[in-house]
Chain A
Amino acid sequence: MLERTLAEQRQDLRAGEYSCVELTQSYLARIEAHQALNAFITVSDIALEQARAADEQIAAGQDKPLLGIPIAHKDIFCQESVRTTAGSRMLDNFISPYDATVVARLNAAGAISLGKTNMDEFAMGSSNESSYYGPVRNPWNTDCVPGGSSGGSAAAVAAGLCSAATGTDTGGSIRQPAAFCGITGIKPTYGRVSRWGMIAYASSLDQAGPMARTAEDCAILLSEMAAHDPRDSTSATRAAEDYTAGLGKPVSGLKIGICTEHMQGLDDAVRKIVDDSLAELTAQDCEIREISLPNAHLAIPAYYIIAPAECSANLSRYDGVRFGYRCENPADLDDLYQRSRSEGFGDEVKSRIMVGAFALSAGYYDAYYRKAQQIRRLIKNDYIAAFDDVDLILGPTTPGTAFRLGEVSQDKTAMYLQDIYTISANLAGLPAISVPAGFVDGMPIGIQLTGGYFEEAQLLNVAHQFQQVTSWHQRRPGDAA
């Protein structure tokens, strides 16, 4: 039953092929057996109870879109009465008193939460190595990273530890680990999914989305996650959609853009995967056009000003005063602040807070923060111009496959370049999906489709149609772990 997709499990549960308790028990057993992956920070102790209740509801003929489906939440989503750490020592003792909107909506849709997945500390990282709870291992090769920051969610889905998982994406944190782990993950348009209860890293870039095995599963989950939320002022007011409704629509005639700048200097193996993917789509009568995003090379520097600047303020609330980590025996107020924050945060987080505080400081604001915001506008305008000519843009999700633990973590710039193809979508606020598209040396790799604002339905359908003619997404890692 664990090899079935979420869509199939929904049918199986209704048809009585197996019970929700059986399904949940199987996942819990598998989580237990795969502890070495370190995909979870917290495993739920009430999942079976919820599963029993779901079975009763199914037996009583009740129907909800995700009734009885066991999922996992990235540990960045607050869940009532559950420890919510954001992968940080700072929140090691934080039991959330409330549910994030994403958690509440998925609960209301009947989903069962198996637990909270590991992540880079406060979502800052591309390898899941910055977690206070230790690195997550890639199920395809446990010497490799799963990507980050939603590495725990990606590994859990890939290893079959849950039916699907939630993730968040600030610069590629859903798409890059999805690509590294051979699963499908979509970052929706900024504002499509509520940020209420999602621990902030960089508020103007953070966006939640689903991570699952297929585009169809992502569509099912996103339909439940996306909605206007009056508690998030940046939440889009447009009506929620059923993203499964348009799945299967022919893609013939769609104009697919290839970004000249992204294809330059591409690794040969990755280029071949992009070309093969394009061939699959041209075979379905899509039209390929070359487009230019002339400011693409500025995306990483702009991102590494804006995101740290916002995080430097967002993380100020972790001061040891009201909740979270507090140093022992503070001598005075300054000592309380300094030691609580020095001891509670890891190096990557401290580094970004300092960069952000510097970029915002008097005398440097115009040269850094204001300039970065101007670049952001240019990047957005490039995309808007490109979408005059094409319906979506296709390219690689990452420059290569998953790297080995410790291989890149010493070189910050190399680590930051992991997000070279994903960051622009966050800066522009556009939706983008990573879809499994092949293997290089036994490790999965993904392609990324970027669409216009609120074009999630189209992205999901193109990805779905791609998955009808390819089988990359059906491959599973061996039980290496």
Chain B
Amino acid sequence: MSSQWEVVIGLEIHAQLSTRSKIFSGASTSFGAAPNSQACAIDLGLPGVLPVVNEAVFPKAIAFGLAVGAEIGRRSAFDRKNYFYPDLPKGYQITQMDEPIVLGGSVDITLKDGTTKTIRITRAHLEEDAGKSVHEDFHGSTGIDLNRAGTPLLEIVSEPDMASAEEAVAYARTIHQLITYLSVSDGDLSQGNMRCDANVSIRRPGDSELGTRTEIKNVNSFRFLEQAINYEIERQIDVIENGGSIIQETRLYDPDSDETQSMRSKETAMDYRYFPEPDLLPVVIDEAYINAVRDAMPELPAQKKARYIEQLALPEADAVILTGDLDLATYFETCLANSGDAVQSANWVKGELLANLKRADLTAAESPLSPEQLGTIIARIKDGTISGKIAKAVFTALWEGETDSVDTYIRDEGLEQVSDTSELEPIIDQIIAANPKQAEQFRSGKTKLLGFFVGQVMKQTGGKANPKQVNDLVVAKLS
């Protein structure tokens, strides 16, 4: 990118709240049901129906607000946003305009080079999701699926504080980490649980005015977010450097062509005619309610990271990896509870486990090897039952489902370490006898050959010999 340009990015993130039922009706929010099987009379906007707010949305929104250090709106009111669209059944969306539940706040993001930056949050408000228009299979017509209509959303609006696609993605990841930690949202991007709109503009460094912005709508992966913003920055630079000007408009990112395309320009932009929703009374949120939410909040990512470093004595790099994803942190903590060794647990989780998860494209929560099992494997290394090498074999056996009990498997397969001197001595004697030349060299000072003898013993015992014990015995016999 040309250094003559400064990039300004703000994000609007729509997070679906993980409530069982919708924000204004009792219909289920679960994903993937047959079209319109989860749309009740309220979701369909039938004549005469009325919304009733699902109170489960408030603690979630408030927890998010507290986590980002925001002010919580003591009077949280709903408004109608009017526009016609086939997947918006009432012809208006119930949202919050003048009195949102979360005001202000900020999050710190960490960039690849290790530097951190604070991104300010303007507000976060509650609203209902729309349904989906389905264009396939209808021969020129459009099908409407209203299962998603009325799913609760928290729309998190940032200040235009990001200066690159990398910062925008880091911010989006940080918000994702927070909302999953707080169980505000399931955060499954593939199911549309979190969708981003990016407002992008460029200006000359030193300009006080912001450039004309475009809004890239509905990006639902971090990778696409980065690609879409980078494409849009290049496009804007190209337009301006070729003497053109940027039109304020909404654009859509197409991952197949890696381009953004114009969706509608400001000239045809809607006047949403917001006004207070007369069917719902403002919700008054008092100090006691907020305190109850605060008391029930789980440990946040930053707190968890600090605890791993300070109390568990993990290196910062390990703490960052383990706390990056709540599922992984939870896995690690359960593993630790079973192994009793933080450093070893961290090494196994960030090493063997993550490598296997990545290969199989699974999340920590989906791991075929439970954290209890991994903890037991580590405990068996620590108490000398198995060697580290055998442990990897046990790991693989459990991963592949050959067994579901660490201890049974070790016993049945005879994998216990051989630490019995009377069992090891004859083997060592035999190997020394079979390798007189090396024995001689060792005695005359070539101590590096110790590894050769230990290796031979391990080979002979199928890796089960206790390496430390073998070491001691070989040295004693050759000295």
Residues of A within 8 A of B (CB): 77-78, 84, 86, 91, 94, 96-98, 100, 195-200, 202-204, 230-234, 309-310, 312-313, 315-317, 319, 321-323, 333, 337, 357, 360-362, 365, 369
Contacts of A78 in B (CB 8 A): 46-48
With A316-B82, A360-B82: A322-B45 Cβ-Cβ less than 8 Å:
yes
Min CB distance A444 to B, Å, is 32
Check B53–A233 contact: CB distance below 8 A.
yes
Given contacts A199-B47, A317-B47, A322-B144, 10 further A-B pairs with CB under 8 A are A98-B41, A230-B52, A233-B52, A312-B82, A312-B273, A313-B92, A316-B82, A316-B92, A321-B144, A360-B82
Min CB distance B161 to A, Å, is 27
Interface check B452, CB cutoff 8 A: no
- In the complex, what residue of chain A is closest to B144 when comparing beta carbons? A321
- In the complex, what residue of chain B is closest to A206 when comparing beta carbons? B278
Interface check B275, CB cutoff 8 A: yes
Interface check B35, CB cutoff 8 A: no
Interface check B234, CB cutoff 8 A: no
A369 to B79, CA, bound (A): 14
Check A323–B46 contact: CB distance below 8 A.
yes
Min CB distance A428 to B, Å, is 15
Contacts of B86 in A (CB 8 A): 319, 321, 333
Q: Which 9 A-B pairs have the closest CB atoms?
A: A316-B91, A203-B278, A360-B273, A204-B278, A197-B48, A317-B45, A199-B47, A78-B48, A362-B271
Report which of B50, B53, B90, B275 forms a contact with A196, defined as CB distance below 8 A: B50
Report which of A202, A317, A361 forms a contact with B91, defined as CB distance below 8 A: A317
Min CB distance B380 to A, Å, is 57
- In the complex, what residue of chain B is closest to A197 when comparing beta carbons? B48
Contacts of A310 in B (CB 8 A): 275, 278
B280-298 interface with A by 8 A CB criterion: 280-281
> How many A-B pairs with Cβ below 8 Å?
103
Interface check B397, CB cutoff 8 A: no
Q: Please tell me the number of chain B residues within 8 Å of chain A, measured between CB atoms.
A: 29
A362 to B272, CA, bound (A): 8
B64-99 interface with A by 8 A CB criterion: 80, 82, 84, 86, 89-92
Interface check B238, CB cutoff 8 A: no
A97 to B44, CA, bound (A): 12
A138 to B285, CA, bound (A): 52
A313 to B45, CA, bound (A): 12
Contacts of A234 in B (CB 8 A): 278-281
What are 22 A-B contacts defined by CB distance under 8 Å?
A96-B46, A98-B46, A196-B48, A196-B50, A197-B48, A199-B48, A231-B50, A233-B50, A234-B280, A309-B275, A312-B273, A317-B89, A317-B90, A317-B91, A319-B86, A321-B86, A321-B89, A322-B45, A322-B144, A362-B273, A365-B273, A369-B275
Interface class of chain B by DSSP: loop
- In the complex, what residue of chain B is closest to A369 when comparing beta carbons? B275
Contacts of A94 in B (CB 8 A): 47
Contacts of A199 in B (CB 8 A): 47-48
With A204-B278, A317-B45, A321-B144: A233-B51 Cβ-Cβ less than 8 Å:
yes
Check A198–B92 contact: CB distance below 8 A.
no
A357 to B142, CA, bound (A): 28
Interface check B239, CB cutoff 8 A: no
- In the complex, what residue of chain A is closest to B272 when comparing beta carbons? A362
A230 to B279, CA, bound (A): 12
Check B275–A365 contact: CB distance below 8 A.
yes
- In the complex, what residue of chain B is closest to A122 when comparing beta carbons? B47
Check A233–B281 contact: CB distance below 8 A.
yes
Min CB distance B452 to A, Å, is 80
Contacts of B48 in A (CB 8 A): 77-78, 84, 96, 100, 195-200
Min CB distance A207 to B, Å, is 13
B212-245 interface with A by 8 A CB criterion: none
Min CB distance B86 to A, Å, is 5
Check B82–A322 contact: CB distance below 8 A.
no
Check B46–A97 contact: CB distance below 8 A.
yes
- Write out, one digit per residue, whether chain B residues 133-152 have a CB within 8 A of any chain A CB (1) or not (0): 00000000010100000000
Of the listed residues B86, B90, B275, B279, the one surrounded by the most CB atoms of chain A closer than 10 A to its CB is B275
Contacts of A98 in B (CB 8 A): 41, 46
Interface check B49, CB cutoff 8 A: yes
With A309-B275, A321-B144, A362-B271: A84-B90 Cβ-Cβ less than 8 Å:
no
With A97-B46, A313-B92, A322-B45: A233-B279 Cβ-Cβ less than 8 Å:
yes
- In the complex, what residue of chain B is closest to A84 when comparing beta carbons? B47
